[in-house]
Chains A and B, each alone.
Chain A
C-alpha cells in the first residue's frame, strides 16, 4: 500500500469539515481586499493625494509597520495600494493558514481522529499530512484566483494583469508556505497548543527581521520570508523571484514534515515528554496550579514582548529622522525646531506601539483567562471543582492572574522600547511619555480582559467576540486614517477611546468610564460564574 493512499479522500473530508471556516476567511481575506481595492481610487486618486500618502509611507515609522514603499519611480494609486496592503495581508494569510494547518494535522491527531482513520481504514501513513498540504494548496489557490480576478475587475488606476495575478499569488504563496512550515512544528510536539506557540514564535522572529532590515537596509529583507512579499514590487517591477522562493520553501518544508512524520509514532511528538516529580508540596490551590501550568510560558511571553519592544526601540534613531528635509526647512526650523519635530514624530510612533503591545498583551492575557472555560470544557476542572475550592476562588484566581499578566506584558513591551530606544537616541525620550501610554493602554487592555471574564461567567460560548472586537479595533486604528474611514466609525475601535497619549493629555473622562465599565464587567462575570451550570466534556 502506498504511503499516500487515500490522500484525496482525506482531502475531501477535510474540506467538508472546514468549509465554513474557509468560506468565512476567504470572504474576509479576498472580499475585504477587493473592497479596499475598489474604494482606493476615491481615497488616493489624485497626484496630490498620492504625494501626501507616499510621504507618510516613506517615513521609517510607517516602513516599520507597512514595509517599504518604492522610491525613485513615479507612484500611482495601485503602487500605494500594494505598499499599504502587502505586509499586513501577508500576516493575515499566515494566521489563516496556521489555523488550517494545525486543524488538519495535530488537532485531529490529538483528538484520536487520525488514529481511527489510519488504524481502521486502508489509509497511507503519509496521507493525513498530504491531505493537509493539499488542503492548503486548494484554499490558497482559491484565494489567488478570486483575489486576482476581483482586483482586475476594480479597474484601479495603475494596475496591470501581471501585477494583479502576481499580487494574489504572492499572498497565497506566503500563506501556503507558512502553513507547510506549521506542519513541521506539528511533528515536533504532541499537543496542538505547544505546536501553535512554536508557529507564532517562528512567525514573530521573521516578522522582526523584516521590520528591522526594512528600516536599516532593505537588501537584507531577503533574509525573512515575510519580507519576500515586498520584493515582488507589485505594479512597479512585478518581480517573480519571490514566487519561486516560496515554492521552494513550501516544498522543502513539506519534505521535512514528511520525513519527520515517518520517523515518529502516531500520537507522539518528536520531542520526548520527560517524567516529572512524583509528589508536590507546591500545588495547593487554583493560583499555584495556574502558576505551575502557565508560569514558564508567562515569563517567556514577558521576555518576548520586551524583546519585541526593544527591536522597535533599536530603530528609533532612524524613525526620528525627518524625511524630506530641505536646507530651506532646516534653516526655517533651526536645530531645536527640527529636534522638536523629530520628537513629535517619535512620540506619535510610541503611541502606535502602545496599541500594538496592548493587542499582544490582551491576546496573551485572555489566553490564560480562557483556560478557565477551556479547562472546564476539557473536563480538567471537574476534579478540583468537587474539592473544597469555591467558584469565587477559582474565578478570581484566573481573572486576577490574567489582568496582572496583561498589564505586565504591556509594560514589558514599552520598557523594551524605552531601553533600546534611549540607547540609540541622542535626545532620549523621558520615562513619563511611556508611562502616559501605559496608563491609557492598560485601561483599554484591562477593559477587554474584563469583557472576556464577563463572557466566561455569563455566556462562555461567545467569548470569541472579544478577540473579534480586538482584531477589528486594531485593524481600524491601524488602517483607519490611511483608509480615510469616517471619524465616527473609528470610535468603534476601543483603542481610539484613549489614543491621545503621549502627544496630548489623556482624556480623563474616557479613562474613568473605561475603568468603571471594566469593574462592572468583572463583577457581572463573577456573579454569572457563581450562578451558571458548569459544563461537561
Chain B
C-alpha cells in the first residue's frame, strides 16, 4: 500500500553547481508518525525539506508525498500540508494578524477559533507590523498559521530556534495534540532533546547522507550515560576500562570522578566502582545529544586514523 506512507524518499540527490548537497537520501514518513530529522548545520536538512516541498528539483532519485510527485504535483500536495521554515521572514509592512489570515486563505482555510486559541497561547500581538517583530515572534506567526491549518501532514524545519522555553513547551504540546489526532509530522532539528521528546522514529543526516534511521531504542548501542561518582578508594584504573570516556577527577585523591559510560560496558564499570566502595552515584540517562556527539567522535577518529 503506497498510501500508508506520507512521504517517501528514494535515493534523492541534489546538486548545486559542483557542490553535491544531497548524496543519497532514503527515508519515509508513515501515516500518524512523528519523525525526527536530525543533523548538524549544513548537513542537508533544509535542502531535503525544500525538495519535499517542491521548491527545488531533485537532481536524481524520487520524492513523493501522499503518493504524488513532489515537483510536478506541488500545489496539490501543498493543499494538504502545513510548513514552518527555520528562518521566518515576513513582509515588513503587513501585521502578524494579516499574515496569518492571508496564509490560511491561501490554503483555502479560515481563521478559526483554533487560530484564536493559538494566538492567545503563544501570546502574540497580532496588530503589530511584522517589521517590529523579533525572530521569535516571526516564528510564532508562521507556527500559528501552520498549526491552525487542518491538514494531514505538518513539516517543521527547526521550528523553535527563536522561541523561549515557555513557548517551546507550548509548541511541544501542540505537536502532541496533532499526534493524538493521527496527523503525520516531520520535525527537523539540531536541538536533539526536542526531537527526543516528540519523535517516534529518528533519521540522522550527515553531509548529505542518511547515516542512521530507526527508533530511539534501536540506537542504544550508540548511546552513552553520563556518570558522576564518589568512592572511598581512589579510582586510579577507571580510565583503563573499555567503554569509559572522558574521565575528569573532582579532587587530587581521585575519589570523585565524572565520565561517560557506554551502555554495553555498564556492567563492567559498575563492578569496578563497587569494588572501590561507592559513596554517591548519579547517572544521567543517555540523551540523543550524547549519541550524536559519540557518533561523530567515532567517525572523526576513524577518519583521522586513516589520514595518519
Contacts and interface: CB of A to CB of B under 8 A. Distances in A.
Interface string A515-537: 00000000000000001011011
Contact of A534 (B55, B106, B128, B142): B55
A285 interface: yes
B89 A378 contact: yes
A190 interface: yes
Contact of A380 (B90, B101, B129): B90
B50 A536 contact: yes
B118 interface: no
A275 B127 contact: yes
A386 B53 contact: yes
Nearest to A384: B106
B112 to A, nearest CB: 12
A120 interface: no
Interface stretch (A147-155, A247-255, A276-284): A276-284
B145 A279 contact: no
Interface size class on chain B is 35 or more
Contact of B95 (A275, A285, A389): A275
A537 B46 CA distance: 12
What DSSP secondary structure best describes chain A's contact surface? loop
Interface string A190-210: 110000000000000000000
B114 to A, nearest CB: 14
Contacts, number: 111
B190 interface: no
B74 to A, nearest CB: 8
B56 A534 contact: yes
Interface size class on chain A is 35 or more
Contact of B106 (A285, A293, A375): A285
A276 B106 contact: no
A273 B132 contact: yes
Interface in B55-101: 55-57, 74-75, 78-79, 81, 83, 85, 87-95, 97-99, 101
Contacts of B145: 383
Nearest to B102: A283
A293 B93 contact: yes
Given A279-B111, A382-B85, A387 B103 contact: yes
User: Which 5 residue pairs across A and B have the least CB separation, nearest first?
Assistant: A379-B89, A283-B102, A387-B106, A533-B56, A278-B97
Interface of B: 46, 50, 53, 55-57, 74-75, 78-79, 81, 83, 85, 87-95, 97-99, 101-103, 105-108, 111, 126-129, 131-132, 142, 145
19 contacts: A190-B131, A191-B131, A273-B129, A275-B127, A277-B95, A277-B97, A277-B127, A283-B94, A285-B105, A289-B102, A292-B98, A375-B91, A378-B89, A385-B55, A387-B106, A387-B107, A389-B78, A531-B57, A533-B55
